[in-house]
């Protein structure tokens, strides 16, 4: 192990000029943000209750005909069942990212009750969902991946917490189709700032979670959660900084937390994730993993404004690089980091634009979301 560490040291050194560049940009942004924070914060008039009697369930789809064939019947049945019991009526909407597999034709032929928003091309997760959001008329939108199969009672537990106007999002409990598979994804999300970087994970679900009320989580997974539409629009929707996919849901949740809202976990809302999505087959494992790594850097640069945490990140960059090089490869870390630096100006612009609107510190978010 020690010899491996010594082998990557020269490559870590090669990234040092880029680390210094990042440090200079973030320090300069911190100085610029001081007068911005002194300006009057925009007043957020979003304290009224939301109406749960009409909800939009939005599914983003890209060449996922085979997934829709499996997931839609259970969803339609669950929505009808909830509507019959509650006396409400909800809408299912599929936002199609320019599919070429006949998804749109299939939906219009077999599910005329489903609203279809057919986009001209693949806009990725953030912009695709944001374009769908333009058509949402309800106060609450439920985002579902096209490879999520919902339980018959999944909807009501997602809606109940919204009696509290301070709730931003509520996430479902996630199961895998194979009950013997290790549950790396549960929906009970956690985040911790360790050695200058964020570590994200899904916690185990306890029996008390099923019996109790919705509990705080770090982020609401974008593949199975309900969100207050007014608050989401106030934040500008999902950030295209992370295009084409991954970390957008953690980002929007973190932004919500810093503005004083909350993200919750409703363990009684059950969905099954079949993990047969389109990202890895279409883009390949290496591209997907590098995109996730790139977006982890962007998440810190955009969102973390605490001076001590930022300094810890900047000082820790060599160790962060070294760990990644040992776990993955030198090429993987180089390419991911350079791709992140290309988007650094956009991340810093977002950092400055949002800084005057925060009512919670980074440390508060980490404490409250446990």
CATH of the domain at 165: 3.90.550.10
Residue 45 forms part of a structural domain: no
269 and 308 share a domain? no
Closest CA to 288 of 344, 335, 330: 335
pLDDT at 182: 82
The domain boundary, picked from 282, 314, 331, lies at 282
229 and 355 share a domain? no
Phi, psi (degrees; rounded to nearest 5) at 308: -70, -40
pLDDT at 20: 98
Residue 44 pLDDT > 60: no
When comparing pLDDT for 85 and 319, which is higher? Answer: 319
pLDDT at 306: 95
pLDDT digits (tens, 9 = 90+) for 134-189: 999 999 999 999 999 999 999 999 999 999 999 999 999 999 988 778 888 999 99
pLDDT at 45: 58
194 and 183 share a domain? yes
Residue 304 forms part of a structural domain: yes
Work out the average pLDDT over 321-336.
97
Residue 259 forms part of a structural domain: yes
15 and 164 share a domain? no
Total Cβ atoms within 10 A of residue 2:
6
pLDDT at 219: 98
169 and 252 share a domain? yes
237 and 183 share a domain? yes
pLDDT digits (tens, 9 = 90+) for 224-265: 999 999 999 999 999 999 999 999 999 999 999 999 999 999
Residue 44 forms part of a structural domain: no
Structural contact between residues 171 and 154, judged by C-beta atoms closer than 8 angstroms:
no
Considering the chain, what is the average pLDDT of its residues? 93
Residues 6+ apart with CB under 8 A from 322: 5, 8, 9, 12
pLDDT digits (tens, 9 = 90+) for 92-129: 999 999 999 999 999 999 999 999 999 999 999 999 99
211 and 95 share a domain? yes
115 and 7 share a domain? no
Residue 89 forms part of a structural domain: yes
Structural contact between residues 173 and 205, judged by C-beta atoms closer than 8 angstroms:
yes
Q: What percent of the chain has pLDDT over 90?
A: 83
239 and 349 share a domain? no
| Structural domain containing residue 114 | 55-282
The domain boundary, picked from 282, 300, 321, lies at 282
73 and 209 share a domain? yes
Residue 42 pLDDT > 60: no
114 and 220 share a domain? yes
pLDDT at 85: 84
Residue 50 forms part of a structural domain: no
The domain boundary, picked from 231, 258, 282, lies at 282
Out of 83-87, 199-203, 280-284, least confident range: 280-284
Domain count, the chain: 2
203 and 220 share a domain? yes
């Amino acid at each position: 192990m020690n010899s491996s560490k010594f082998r990557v040291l020269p490559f870590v050194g090669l990234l040092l000029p880029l680390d210094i560049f990042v440090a200079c940009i973030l320090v300069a942004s911190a100085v610029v943000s001081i007068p911005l924070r002194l300006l009057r914060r925009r007043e957020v008039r979003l304290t009224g209750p939301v109406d749960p009697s009409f909800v939009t369930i939005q599914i983003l789809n890209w060449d996922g005909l085979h997934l829709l064939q499996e997931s839609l019947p259970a969803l339609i049945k669950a929505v009808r069942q909830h509507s019959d019991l509650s006396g409400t009526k909800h809408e299912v909407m599929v936002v199609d990212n320019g599919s070429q597999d006949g998804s749109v034709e299939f939906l219009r032929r077999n599910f005329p009750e489903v609203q279809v928003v057919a986009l001209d091309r693949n806009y990725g997760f953030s912009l695709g969902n944001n374009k769908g959001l333009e058509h949402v008329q309800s106060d609450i939108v439920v985002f579902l991946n096209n490879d999520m199969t919902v339980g018959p009672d999944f909807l009501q537990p997602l809606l109940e917490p919204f009696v509290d106007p301070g709730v931003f999002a509520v996430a479902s409990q996630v199961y895998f189709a194979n009950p013997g598979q290790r549950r790396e994804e549960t929906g009970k999300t956690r985040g911790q700032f360790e050695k200058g970087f964020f570590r994200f994970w899904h916690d185990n679900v306890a029996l008390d979670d099923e019996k109790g009320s919705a509990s705080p989580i770090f982020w609401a997974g974008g593949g199975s959660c309900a969100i207050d539409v007014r608050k989401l629009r106030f934040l500008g929707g999902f950030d295209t900084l992370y295009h084409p996919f991954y970390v957008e849901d953690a980002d929007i949740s973190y932004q919500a937390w810093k503005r004083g809202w909350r993200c919750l976990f409703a363990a009684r809302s059950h969905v099954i994730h079949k993990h047969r999505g389109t990202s890895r087959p279409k883009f390949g494992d290496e591209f997907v993993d590098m995109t996730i790594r790139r977006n982890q850097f962007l998440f810190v640069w955009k969102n973390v404004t605490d001076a001590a945490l930022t300094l810890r990140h900047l000082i820790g960059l060599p160790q962060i690089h070294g760990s990644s090089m040992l776990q993955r490869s030198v090429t993987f870390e180089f390419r991911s980091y350079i791709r992140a630096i290309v988007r650094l100006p956009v991340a810093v612009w977002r950092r400055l634009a949002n800084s005057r609107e925060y009512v919670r510190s980074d440390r508060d978010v980490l404490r409250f979301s446990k």
